[in-house]
Amino acid sequence: MLSTVISAAYLTLWISSSVFTSAQDPYMDRALKLMSETPLIDGHNDLPWQLRQQFNNQLSNVDLNTLKTTHTNIPKIKEGRLGAQFWSAYVPCESQYKDAVRQTLEQIDVVHRMCEKYNETFMFATSSEEIMEAFNTNRTASLIGVEGGHSLDSSLATLRIMYQLGVRYLTLTHSCNTPWADNWLVDTGSEPSQHSGLSAFGKQLIVEMNRLGMLIDLAHVTEAVMNQVLNMSQAPVIFSHSSAYSICPHKRNVPDDVLLKVKAKEGIVMVNFYNDYVTCSKTAKISDVADHFDHIKKVAGAGIIGFGGDYDGVTRLPEGLEDVSKVPKVVAELLRRGWTDEEVNAALGKNLLRVLSQAEKVRDALTWKSPDDVPIRYDEVKNSCRTSYGYIPEEDHSAAADHSLSALSLLLTLATQAVITLSVS
């Protein structure tokens, strides 16, 4: 009898609390309803790096149900209604020319193992269809993005292997130049440009990513690289965790003219929550994050907007957005500002689903094309940690001729792909 009375009391309290919450914030009720219908797809979360730093990737030594030292754990994911997540396979720039490939493979591995260990919460996904399959079975679709081109060691074969392992986007640079692309620090003047954007091999890489169906992430590159990729990619591009430059003039953010080009390319900018990119200061509020959503919508429409919180990869987050459980507050704020259900659904996940689906269509239209097996020039990557097996001796001038033929092949491929774009659009 006592237990029945207690249960009834709890039920009454829950109902009263729900009514009170609804009366206080009907926008949150509406936000949660929309998030039950459309998956929230976040473009960037660095939990895998935290697993390396805190546990050396030993999942046997951590329980994601009770982990309290990260922005992300299973209870927070469920409270935040996270429908799909691109987990970042990130290793620092100091690993470039050393063990970057090995360390990146280990990060890819830890995501796979995380999905296996917690298979009631996570479902590993590689396609737009699998994202929806996970969402419809109440699991968080788990995709992988490699953050930094240095993770490839300038190898198209490594790019292909990572795609086979489930990687679905590559951030072309992190905070260092690669032998084929300039990073965002070049635009600050703190580092010199090495390639005026992309080198010839960098352009080869873009073509190969289109052929594979791997999304090109421009979150950490120079404006020159942004524009070069937007001009040549046959598939939509993404900014997995960047905000609006006009609101916060940080070089990690996206200028208005680039926003318009992303719109023309039918790509997506996934708004970053890091205070330094939100307000260009150490403090920020939810309203400041919403200002970036509003600005991008004003410039280029709601069709290019997404969420890219950068949780567990940053040190400062807005008040009220301290961990992944708080993301619905942003959705409620957008509704409070007059965003329609259709606009919110687009930003939640429909935009990203469209972008990924379009990249898959470009891939399917290029099945006739063979993998690019022309390597980067040895003199562009020569260092004390790299051997030269397979390369023509430097005194053999035919190597230069081979590279010239590669450049000609690239031009022919771009011309062919221009025709393909018309057929898949």
Say which DSSP state 311 is in: B
Of the candidates 46, 288, 343, 372, the residue annotated as catalytic is 46
Place of tokens 């609390």: 17
**Nearest alpha-carbon partner for 415 in 235, 269, 234, 238:** 234
Give Dmax (Cα) for the chain: 93
**Does the annotation count 46 as an active-site position?**
yes
DSSP string spanning 364-377?
Answer: HHTTTSPPP--PPP
**Does the annotation count 220 as an active-site position?**
yes
What element of type H or E holds 13?
helix 2-24
From start to end of 63-196, where are the E strands?
A: 82-90, 122-124, 140-147, 167-171
The two tokens of residue 131 are: 């994202």
Contact 62, 55 (CB under 8 A): yes
* Phi, psi dihedrals of residue 57, rounded to the nearest 5°: 65, 20
Query: Distance (Å, rounded) from C-alpha 278 to C-alpha 206?
Result: 29
**Does the annotation count 241 as an active-site position?**
yes
**Nearest alpha-carbon partner for 154 in 186, 198, 189:** 198
Query: Distance (Å, rounded) from C-alpha 31 to C-alpha 73?
Result: 22
**Does the annotation count 174 as an active-site position?**
yes
C-alpha neighbours within 13 Å on the C-beta side of residue 266: 14
Look up residue 366 and give its amino acid: L
Query: Distance (Å, rounded) from C-alpha 425 to C-alpha 423?
Result: 6
Of the candidates 187, 291, 310, 333, the residue annotated as catalytic is 310
Q: At what angle do helices 47-55 and 100-117 cross, to 10 degrees?
A: 100
Query: Distance (Å, rounded) from C-alpha 114 to C-alpha 139?
Result: 13
**Does the annotation count 276 as an active-site position?**
no
Of the candidates 174, 195, 250, 292, the residue annotated as catalytic is 174
Alpha carbon of 364 to those of 31, 310, 369: distances in Å?
A: 36, 31, 10
Of the candidates 150, 220, 250, 295, the residue annotated as catalytic is 220
**Does the annotation count 25 as an active-site position?**
no
Query: Distance (Å, rounded) from C-alpha 242 to C-alpha 185?
Result: 14
Of the candidates 42, 44, 195, 288, the residue annotated as catalytic is 44
Say which DSSP state 214 is in: P
Q: Give the length of the chain.
A: 425
Of the candidates 42, 71, 147, 360, the residue annotated as catalytic is 147
Query: Distance (Å, rounded) from C-alpha 381 to C-alpha 424?
Result: 36
Place of tokens 């409270």: 79
Q: Which residues are catalytic?
A: 44, 46, 147, 174, 220, 241, 310
